[in-house]
Structure 1
């Protein structure tokens, strides 16, 4: 299927692994030029080197907690590829964990700085690019946690709910200019983030890694009817669709890629 994005230029944050990297791979396969960014310069360079179509691959580090760093990224992007047509904001962390009474202000602030305000800063910096050509796509990675919060990671849940609200609000502001804004909400995907979660769980329970996953699915995510972690490419395929001409009437939506994990309609 021709997605109509040959020749478009995409910036992907949080692109050194997992969903961000797989999205880069799929957009490249569809003919887009892709600029990868992540906080660690060496890591994102290594990630970029693993991709095909190297003539259309670019990369640079950026810290989403820093306005100056994001502005520097924008200058680098403009020098390398010009204005972007597509922004996929995937950068984020699990953040502070524990029950509400166990998390102090710093835990909340640090999580919100990256997961919510990071999205705000990146969007603000690149919004003019996305509005300029009469055709733009902005996709945020949120989470099942945005609509189904869990009591042991409330800062992350609140941040992702904020990103979901940001996405919906922006979709009303700029659609008339051709900029479509949507969100994708995965659940328990096979990424370095969930690897770290399951490693901690295995240590806490005194079990193996696979057993930690199995117990997590049974005890914490009972509505994931497929009974496994999702794969990054399964999320990236939805993102890639939303970045395409095929999604020309999709705006302000939240696509759940969660194996049924969210228990409501």
Structure 2
């Protein structure tokens, strides 16, 4: 299917691995010029080397919690590729975990600063040029946790609920300028982050890695009726659709990629 975005420019945060990198792959295959960004010290060089045969891709490092670095990375992308038409916010962390009464302010602030305020800072840079051009696509990564919170992950859940609200508000503010803002909400996708979660679970419970996944699905995610972790490319396909011309009448929507994990029809 032709996505109708050949020649567009995309910036993807949190894209040195996992869902962000797989989204970059699909966009490159669609003829989009892509800038990857993530914190220094990751696997950006490896990601660029892997993706470069597919099209024009660059890497720019920066920390979304630092306003100065956010401005600098956007400026570098503008100088090297041009003004992005597409922004995809995949940067995020699990953040502080544990009993609510034992998680301090620092844990909450760090989680919110990356997951929520990182998106806020990046969208401030993305949207003005999109409005001027009369065409823009923004996709923010939320999570099943946004509408189905888990008691050991409340800072993360709250940050992702805020992402849903942010995206809805932005969609109302700028949809009239043909800047469409939507979210995707994955659940338990095979990424380095969930690998680490399952390795920790396996060690704590004396299980193999595969057994850790199986028991986690049974005990913690009974709504995931496909009984497996999702694939990063399955989420990427949803994102690629939302930023395409095929989704030109979708604005302020949330697309779940969660194997049915969320039980409610609302939210």
- Does the alignment reach a TM-score above 0.5? yes
CA distance in 2, matches of 1:131, 1:64: 22
Which segment is superposed worse, 251-260 or 120-129? Answer: 120-129
Which residue number corresponds to residue 155 of structure 1?
155
Spell out structure 1 runs of 4+ moving beyond 2 A.
52-55
- Report if aligned partners of 1:23, 1:233 keep a CA contact under 8 Å in 2: yes
Q: Deviations over 1:180-202 (max 9, x none)?
A: 00000000000000001101111
- Report if aligned partners of 2:28, 2:55 keep a CA contact under 8 Å in 1: no
Unaligned runs of 5+ in 2: none
CA distance in 1, matches of 2:55, 2:104: 47
CA distance in 1, matches of 2:94, 2:42: 22
Tell me how far 1:74 sits from its aligned partner. 1.0
CA distance in 1, matches of 2:14, 2:217: 26
Which residue number corresponds to residue 146 of structure 1?
146
Which residue number corresponds to residue 21 of structure 1?
21
Which residue number corresponds to residue 106 of structure 1?
106
1:205 and 2:205 are equivalent in the alignment: yes
CA distance in 1, matches of 2:42, 2:149: 34
Tell me how far 1:210 sits from its aligned partner. 0.7
Tell me how far 1:75 sits from its aligned partner. 1.0
Aligned pairs (5 A) from 1:35-74: 35-40=35-40, 43-53=43-53, 55-74=55-74
RMSD after superposition? 1.0
CA distance in 1, matches of 2:129, 2:252: 19
- Report if aligned partners of 1:112, 1:159 keep a CA contact under 8 Å in 2: yes
Unaligned runs of 5+ in 1: none
Which segment is superposed worse, 98-107 or 46-55? Answer: 46-55
Which residue number corresponds to residue 180 of structure 1?
180
Which segment is superposed worse, 35-44 or 175-184? Answer: 35-44
SS at match of 2:255: strand
Which residue number corresponds to residue 196 of structure 2?
196
- Count, aligned residues: 265
Tell me how far 1:53 sits from its aligned partner. 3.9
Which residue number corresponds to residue 137 of structure 2?
137
Which residue number corresponds to residue 259 of structure 1?
259
Which residue number corresponds to residue 79 of structure 1?
79
1:235 and 2:257 are equivalent in the alignment: no
CA distance in 1, matches of 2:146, 2:42: 31
CA distance in 1, matches of 2:260, 2:42: 36
SS at match of 2:168: helix
1:32 and 2:29 are equivalent in the alignment: no
- Report if aligned partners of 1:45, 1:60 keep a CA contact under 8 Å in 2: no
- Report if aligned partners of 2:25, 2:54 keep a CA contact under 8 Å in 1: no
CA distance in 2, matches of 1:180, 1:53: 30
Tell me how far 1:229 sits from its aligned partner. 0.1
TM-score, normalization: structure 2? 0.97
Tell me how far 1:171 sits from its aligned partner. 0.3
SS at match of 1:2: coil
Tell me how far 1:82 sits from its aligned partner. 1.2
Q: 1:215 to 1:86 in 2, by over 3 A?
A: same
Q: Deviations over 1:216-256 (max 9, x none)?
A: 00000001000000000000000000010000000000000
SS at match of 2:199: helix
